[in-house]
């Protein structure tokens, strides 16, 4: 399992990602457990998901009628036992 970079270490690299999809203020920004996806929600009723390494938008979730305050992702695999 990969661990998060040590932010106290001056050699840790933090890269800024610019995402341009929301038209109103954001209410939440969240990474998935693996750190390869970035999820955003906002007052524009449109949760979005991006690749974390380059900020490319994968898609949006349409159909909300109001502000989306939070988001979570669950990639649970079915039990085959």
DSSP 59: E
pTM, rounded to two decimals: 0.69
- Smallest CA-to-CA distance from 69 within 18, 24, 35, 32 is with 24
**4-57: per-residue pLDDT in tens?**
555 555 566 677 777 777 888 889 999 998 889 999 999 998 899 999 888 899
How far is residue 73's CA from residue 35's CA, in Å, rounded to a whole number? 12
């Amino acid at each position: 399992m990969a661990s998060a970079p040590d932010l106290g270490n001056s050699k840790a690299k933090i890269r800024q990602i610019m995402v341009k999809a929301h038209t109103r203020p954001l209410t939440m920004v969240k990474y998935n457990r693996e750190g390869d996806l970035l999820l955003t929600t906002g007052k524009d009723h449109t949760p979005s998901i991006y690749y974390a390494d380059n900020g490319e938008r994968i898609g949006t979730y349409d159909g909300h009628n109001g502000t989306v305050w939070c988001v979570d992702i669950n990639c649970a695999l079915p039990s085959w036992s």
